[in-house]
Amino acid sequence: MRKITFLFIVTMFLQVNNTYSQSKRKKKELAEKEQLLKLQAEKKKDVKIKDYNQVITKQAVSDDGLFKSHKVDNKYYFEIPNILLNKEMLLVSRISKLPSGLGGGYVNAGSSANEQLIVWERFQDKVLIKVKSFASIANDSLPINISVKANNYEPTLYAFDIVAFAKDSSAIVIDVTKFYSSDVKALSGLTTQMRESYKVKSLDDSRSFITSVKSFPLNIEVIQDFTYIASNPSVLQNTETISLQMNQSMILLPEEPMQPRLFDKRVGWFTVNQYDYSSEALKSDKKTFIRKWRLEPKDVEAYNRGELVEPIKPIVYYLDPATPEKLRKYIKAGVEEWQKPFEGAGFKNAIICKDAPSKEEDPDFSPEDIRYSVIRYVASTTRNAVGPSVSDPRTGEIIESDIIWYHNHLRSYRNRYLLETGAANENARTLDTSDEDMGEMMQMVIAHEVGHALGFPHNMGASCAYDVENYRKPAFTKKMGISSSIMDYARFNYIAQPGDKDVRFIRQMGPYDYYAANWGYRKIPNANTPESEVKILDQWIEEKSNDIIYKFGNQGSSFDPSSQTEDIGNDAMKASTYALKNLKFVSENLENWTSAKTNNYEDVEELYDELLGCWNRYVGHVSTNIGGVYETYKKPNQTGDIYSNVPKLTQQEALKWMQENAFNSPTWLVNTAILKNTAYTGYIEKFRGLQVRVLNKILSLETLGRLQNATVIDQNSYKPVAFLQELRAGIWSELTTNQDITIYRRNLQRAYIERMEFLMKEEFKNSNSIESYNASQSDVRALVRGELNVLKKIIIGKKGLQSSTENKYHLEDCLSRINVILDPK
C-alpha cells in the first residue's frame, strides 16, 4: 500500500511539474514571438526602401533625360536606369558665377574646377559614385587585370541610400539633395589654396541651395548656389562671405570609345597617359595618346579618294551673348581660321562658329552645359585669353571646350602693338588703334586659343624658323607671317625698321599648323589600331624632318635658345639689336603719341613700364644662348643628336652683346622726361632690377652646370672658366679702361659680388629635374673663389686711382665684401 501511494505521489508530481514546464515554455515562446513581432514592426517602420509612389508623388516635377530627375518639395531625386549602372561618365565641375578677384584674376565664369571619370555602382541597398582612373589598365581577359584593379582601387566619392525602385524595377531612385547641397570638396570651386587664403570656415547651409537640375539625353546639368563663411574674402571683406555658383555637368561617355592616336613628341600635342599591363614586354607599357576631337567623314570612300568631305559631327563654337557686337565677326573669323588646316586633313567645314541661340530658339541653352563649346567673354581686368578643353581620359577624345577671352586683354595688345611695331608702323603710333587692326589682333588670339582647344600646345620653336632679314620683306611676311605656327608666342614683327614698307606686323596661321592638323586629324585608311597607324605617322614626320618650319619646340625648354617665348627670328643677337633700335625710337616719341594727345599721364606711365618689360624680353632672348643647348626630337633611325650645345662663338657673341646692351649704363632707357611726371623716385631702382635679373640668369648654377657638362662631349666648348673670366672683365671694365663708374654700374658690380657669394654658398638640387648639381663638390666653388681673388687684386691696384669719392668708397666696399666671402671668419 505504501508503495502504491509513493508511486501515485511521484506520478502526480511529474504531471504537475510537466504542466508547469509546458506553461513556462509556452509563455517563453509567446514572449519570443511578441518580441519578434515587435522587432519586425520596428524594422518595417525603419525600412528606407519605399514604394515608388510614396517617394515620387503626384507633386513631383520631373524631367526626362540621361537619368530622370524629380523635384519633390525641396528634395531632388535621380532615377537611374539599371542599364546605366557601371557605365562610364564624365563629371565636370565648373564655376558659373563668382565674386571679383577670386583666385587672383585667372579664375572666371566658365573655369573648370575639376574633371572626374565616374561610374554609378549598386552595393546592397546603396548606390555609390566611384571615381575611376585610366592611368593603369589591362585587358579584362588577362589574369593581371585582377592585380591592376586590386592595386588601383577606386575611391568612393559618395554613397546614397536606395529610397525606391521604379514601378517596373528597371531603375533605382536615390535622393541627391544632400550630395548637391553639401560642400563636397571634389565638386567645389574653392581650391585648398583658396580656402586657406580666404580663411574659409564652412559652407553656410542657410544660404546655400540647389538652383536647378536639368536632364538631357546624354547629360545632366545641376546648378548650385553656395555661400561660404570666410574671414578674408576676395571682395567686400566686412561681409565675411564668399558666394559662388557652380555648374555640375555629368555626361555619358561614348559606348564605343574613339580610336586613339599615339603621341609622338616630334609633333606638339596635349596628351593623356596610360600604363598598359597587358603588354608582353618585361614592364608595363606606357601609352601616350594625343587629345583631339572625333572627326569622322560622312563619306568614307570619297574621303579615302582624297576628296574634301564634311565630318559627321563638326566642331561647333557658340558666341557668348555678352560679346560686344563689333567684335563678333573677328571672333568667328578666329575660330574659322582653322577651316583651311582641317581641309589639309581632308575635312570640309570641320569647325564653325555660331551665335548662341536666343531664349525663344532654345530656352535650355546654357554656356555651362557640357554639350556646348562657347567663346566666353569675361568682364575682368585680367589681361589674358585661354583655351581649355574637356577630354575623355580613356582615349583623349575632346568632348567640349570653352575659349575664355578677358575683356582687358584688348588693352594689352594695343600697348604691345604700339611698343613693338610703332617705330616702323605708323598705324600703331596711337592710343586709339583702329577697329580693323584691333579686330585682326583679336582674330589671331582667338585662333591661337582655339588651337589649344583642338589639342595643340605652344610651339615655341616655330618663331625661330625664319631668317631675321626676312622680317623686313613685304612679300615674305605677307605669305609666311612672323612665325611658322600660330601656336607660338610670336605676336608682332618687332624687327622691321623705319622705312620698311608694307611688311606684315601681326601674326597669322603658319605652315606648321597645316602640318600638325593633318598629322593628328587625318584618318588613315585600314588602320584599325593605334599601333597600325605609326608607320604612316612616322613617314609624315620624316618627310618634313629636314625643314625647320615643321619643327616643334617645347615651351618648357628654358635652356634652348631656339625655343623661346615672345621671340622671332633665327638669330637672337641680330633680332634684339633691331628690336632695341625700335624701342629707343618708341621711347623718344612715347610722350608725343600718348600724354601730349590725351593731356593725361596714366597711359604713358603704363606704357613706359611695359616698354621696360620689352627691353627685358629682348635681352633675355640673347642670354639663353649662354650655356644653351638645342633640343631637336628624333627617333633612332634619324641622323643627328637630340641635344647639341650652342657653339662657343655664338655664346661668346651673346655675352659680348649683353656687355654692350644690357650691362652698360642705360642712358636712353631711363627716360627722365617721362619719369619726372610719373614717379617721384625709383629711377635708378627700375633699371637695377632689370640688370640684376639678367645677370642672375647667366650667373647661375644651371648655366654653369651646362657649360661644365658640355666640356665632356666637346673639347672646343665654351668652358666655364672662360665664361667667368670674360664676364668679369666686362662687368669691371672700368678698372682697366680707367673710365668713370656710373651709379648704374656700381649697382651692377655690387650685384655681381652678391651673386658670386650666392654661388659660393648655395646648392641647387631639384629632384624633378635633370639639372641637379652638387655645387660644393663641383668646380663651381673653385672657379668663383679664383675669380674673386683675381678681382680682389685688381681692385687693390685700382682703388687709389679713382677720381671721385663715390668710386673710392664703392671699391673699398667691394673689397670688404669680397674679403668676407673669401674668409667669413
The model's pLDDT over 703-735, given as tens digits with 9 standing for 90+, comes to 999 999 999 998 899 999 999 999 999 999 999
Both 18 and 57 in a single domain?
no
Both 716 and 741 in a single domain?
yes
- What residues have CB less than 8 Å from 21, skipping those under 6 apart? none
Residue 665's pLDDT is: 84
Both 41 and 57 in a single domain?
no
Q: Does residue 35 or residue 476 have the better pLDDT?
A: 476
Residue 35's pLDDT is: 59
Q: Is the dihedral of CA 469, 470, 471, 475 positive or negative?
A: positive
Residue-wise DSSP of 541-588: HHHHTT-GGG----TT-SS-TTS-TT--SS-HHHHHHHHHHHHHHHHH
The pLDDT confidence band at residue 10, using thresholds 50, 70 and 90, is: very low
Both 41 and 115 in a single domain?
no
Both 135 and 233 in a single domain?
yes
Work out the widest C-alpha separation in the chain, in whole angstroms.
154
Query: Which of 19-33, 381-395, 582-596 has the highest average model confidence (pLDDT)?
Result: 582-596
Residue 520 forms part of a structural domain? no
* Dihedral (Cα; 595, 596, 598, 602), 10-degree rounding: 10
DSSP, collapsed to helix, strand or coil, labels residue 261 as coil
Both 10 and 33 in a single domain?
yes
Q: Residue 380's CB: how many other CB atoms inside 10 A? A: 20
Residue 42's pLDDT is: 44
Average pLDDT of 789-800? 90
Residue 582 forms part of a structural domain? no
Residue 383's pLDDT is: 73
DSSP, collapsed to helix, strand or coil, labels residue 694 as helix
H/E stretch holding 316: strand 315-319
Residue 232's pLDDT is: 87
- CA–CA distance, 344 with 386 (Å, rounded to integer): 25
Average pLDDT of 780-784? 93
Average pLDDT of 261-286? 79
Both 746 and 790 in a single domain?
yes
Q: In the structure grid, which three cell numbers stand for residue 249, read together? A: 555637368
Q: What is the mean pLDDT of the chain?
A: 88
Asked if residues 139 and 278 have their Cβ atoms less than 8 Å apart, the reply is: yes
pLDDT in tens, 406-454: 777 888 899 999 999 999 999 999 999 999 999 999 999 999 999 999 9
Residue 8's pLDDT is: 47
pLDDT in tens, 150-182: 556 688 999 999 999 999 999 999 999 999 999
The pLDDT confidence band at residue 803, using thresholds 50, 70 and 90, is: confident
Range of lowest pLDDT (22-36, 98-112, 242-256, 278-292)? 22-36
Q: Does residue 327 or residue 369 have the better pLDDT?
A: 327
Q: What pairing do the DSSP bridges indicate for beta strands 156-165 and 209-215?
A: unpaired
Q: Does residue 411 or residue 751 have the better pLDDT?
A: 751
Residue 246 forms part of a structural domain? yes
**pLDDT of residue 6 exceeding 60:** no
Residue 238 forms part of a structural domain? yes
Number of domains within the chain: 3
**Domain end call among 253, 279, 303:** 253
Q: Does residue 629 or residue 280 have the better pLDDT?
A: 629
Both 40 and 133 in a single domain?
no
Asked if residues 760 and 824 have their Cβ atoms less than 8 Å apart, the reply is: no
SS (H, E, C) 610-643: HHHHHHHHHHHHHHCCCCCEEECCCCCCCCCCCE
The pLDDT confidence band at residue 284, using thresholds 50, 70 and 90, is: low
- The label of the residue with cell 621711347 reads 587
The pLDDT confidence band at residue 489, using thresholds 50, 70 and 90, is: very high
**Domain end call among 205, 226, 253:** 253
> At 375, phi and psi to the nearest 5?
-90, 100
Residue 13's pLDDT is: 45
The pLDDT confidence band at residue 267, using thresholds 50, 70 and 90, is: very high
Using the CB atoms, write b or e for 103-140: b if 16+ within 10 Å.
bebebbbbbbbebbbbbbeeeeeebbbbebebeebbee
Both 182 and 239 in a single domain?
yes
Both 218 and 167 in a single domain?
yes
Average pLDDT of 301-317? 96
> What do you get for the CA distance between the two ends of the chain, in Å?
127
Residue 704 forms part of a structural domain? yes
The residue segments making up the domain with residue 817 are 699-825
DSSP, collapsed to helix, strand or coil, labels residue 54 as helix
**Domain end call among 253, 270, 285:** 253
Residue 824's pLDDT is: 85
Residue 220 forms part of a structural domain? yes
- CA–CA distance, 570 with 550 (Å, rounded to integer): 14
In this structure, the chain runs to a length of 825
H/E stretch holding 240: none
pLDDT in tens, 518-567: 999 999 999 999 999 999 999 999 999 999 999 999 887 789 999 999 99
Residue 543 forms part of a structural domain? no
**pLDDT of residue 22 exceeding 70:** no
- CA–CA distance, 221 with 577 (Å, rounded to integer): 55
Range of lowest pLDDT (106-110, 205-209, 807-811)? 106-110
Both 152 and 31 in a single domain?
no
Both 33 and 142 in a single domain?
no
Average pLDDT of 57-68? 93
> At 325, phi and psi to the nearest 5?
-55, -45
**pLDDT of residue 130 exceeding 50:** yes
Range of lowest pLDDT (127-141, 152-166, 257-271, 635-649)? 127-141
- CA–CA distance, 106 with 378 (Å, rounded to integer): 11
% of the chain residues with pLDDT over 90: 67
Residue 570 forms part of a structural domain? no
**pLDDT of residue 137 exceeding 90:** no
Residue 46's pLDDT is: 45
Residue 456's pLDDT is: 96
- CA–CA distance, 762 with 775 (Å, rounded to integer): 8
pLDDT in tens, 444-455: 999 999 999 999
